[in-house]
Amino acid sequence: MDYSNIHEKIYNSLSKTEQKEADIIIDDTNLNICCRCTKIVRWFDEMYWKGEYHAKDNGTNHTNYILGDYDSVCDECYSILSNQKINH
C-alpha cells in the first residue's frame, strides 16, 4: 500500500469548489484532512500520524498498528479504530 497517495485520493474525490476550499485551508492554516472520515482538523493536536511518537506507546508501534492502512486520522477516528483493533 502506498500511503502517500491516500490524501491525494481524498482530494481528487472532492468537487472543484471543495478542492478550492481545501487548497486555502491546507495551505494557509494548520489544518489537514482526516484520511478516514475526510473531516478537516488541526494536524498538530487533533490528528494521529503514522510513525508519530506517543509517550503511551512505550517504544512500541502501537499508533502505527491502530492506524493500519491510514496515513493520518483525526482523534475521533483514532478512538474508533483503537476500539475496533482491541475488540477484534
As to burial, measured by CB atoms within 10 angstroms (0-12 exposed, 13-18 middle, 19+ buried), residue 29 is exposed
List the x/- string, 26-65, binding to Zn ion by CB under 5 A. Answer: --------x-xx-x--------------------------
Cα three-residue angle 55-72-76, rounded to 5 degrees: 80
58: cell is 512505550
CB of 39 to Zn ion, least distance (A): 5
Give min distance, CB of 77 to Zn ion, in A. Answer: 3
Q: How far is the CB of 43 from Zn ion (least distance, A)?
A: 12
**Per rule CB under 5 A, count of chain residues that contact Zn ion:** 6
Of how many residues is the chain composed?
Answer: 88
Determine contact, residues 30/43, Cβ cutoff 8 Å: yes
Instruction: Name the residues that contact Zn ion, by CB under 5 A.
Output: 34, 36-37, 39, 74, 77
